[in-house]
């Protein structure tokens, strides 16, 4: 049996939760291994992923039939190339409604494509409701909640985003200090270029990337092998 082609849909029903940063780092995670990857920026009027990673990502929309067909055709392509979708909150409902309407899950299974939702969680009720509704709507699609390390009361927040049957327990995204975050947010900043140039593997950014790439590796293993990791332990 051939390994399935992964699609990672990085999304949330809430803005400004770190979604695009995760999508950027995930895309470069594949690049760091010399693996091909295709990324899709589905954020109307705010295509930061495509701006930062023009070699990997394309800006696309789902506000018209032509754009919708082009996007879903690319996602369903039998090219064995991992995909990353940076799905903005404005396009959240439309994207998943289309998946349901055209029964894309059946086509994915036929073509040995494995989609997974990486859902950026926070303490807002809108985020919780979106997570619950999506997991109920697509019970056969793996879904993992991601929690920013800086979230207040992170343990209580995790209780509102229970593990899904196929995705497993939530995972923590390490925090960046404001100064380092301002560097990372610069247009066309590349994590891989930074790693190639840095002489200090003990720097905050290098250590952050190392932790995050380990997290991505676990997510990929969960998806492709169909397993889940041991329950995550939350600090008080």
What pLDDT is attached to residue 146?
97
pLDDT in tens, 96-112: 999 999 999 999 999 99
SS3 string, the chain, reads: CCCCEEEEEEECCCCCCCHHHHHHHHHHHHHHCCCCCEEEEECCCCCHHHHHCCCCEEECCCCCHHHHHHHHHHHCCCCCCCEEEEECCCCHHHHHHHHHHCCHHHHHHHCCEEEEEEEEECCCHHHHHHHHHHHHHCCCCCEEEEEECCCCCHHHHHHCCCCECCCECCEEECCCCHHHHHHHCCCCCCHHHHHHHCCCCCCHHHHHHHHHHHHHHHHHHHHHHCCCCCCCCCCC
CATH homologous superfamily for 5-225?
P-loop containing nucleotide triphosphate hydrolases (3.40.50.300)
Residues 25-76 pLDDT 10s? 999 999 999 999 999 999 987 899 999 999 999 999 888 899 999 999 999 9
The pLDDT value recorded for residue 198 is 87
Quote the pTM value: 0.93
């Amino acid at each position: 049996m051939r390994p399935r082609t992964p699609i990672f849909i990085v999304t949330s029903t809430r803005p400004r939760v770190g979604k695009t940063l995760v999508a950027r780092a995930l895309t470069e995670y594949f690049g760091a291994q010399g693996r091909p990857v295709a990324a899709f920026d589905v954020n109307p009027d705010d295509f930061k992923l495509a701006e930062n990673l023009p070699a990997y990502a394309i800006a696309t929309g789902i506000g018209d039939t032509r754009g919708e067909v082009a996007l879903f055709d690319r996602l369903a392509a039998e090219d064995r190339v991992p995909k990353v979708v940076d799905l903005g909150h404005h396009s959240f409902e439309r994207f998943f409604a289309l998946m349901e309407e055209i029964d894309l899950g059946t086509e994915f299974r036929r073509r040995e494509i494995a989609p997974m939702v990486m859902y950026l969680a926070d303490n807002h009720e809108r985020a919780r409701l979106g997570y619950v509704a999506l997991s109920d709507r697509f019970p056969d699609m793996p879904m993992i909640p991601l929690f920013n390390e800086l979230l207040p009361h992170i343990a209580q927040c995790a209780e509102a985003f229970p593990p899904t049957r196929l995705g497993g327990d939530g995972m923590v995204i390490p925090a960046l200090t404001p100064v380092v975050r301002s560097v990372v947010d610069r247009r066309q900043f590349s994590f891989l270029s930074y790693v190639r140039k840095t002489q200090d593997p003990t720097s905050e950014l290098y250590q952050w990337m190392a932790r995050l790439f380990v997290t991505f590796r676990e997510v990929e293993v969960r998806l492709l092998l169909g397993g889940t990791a041991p329950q995550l332990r939350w600090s008080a």
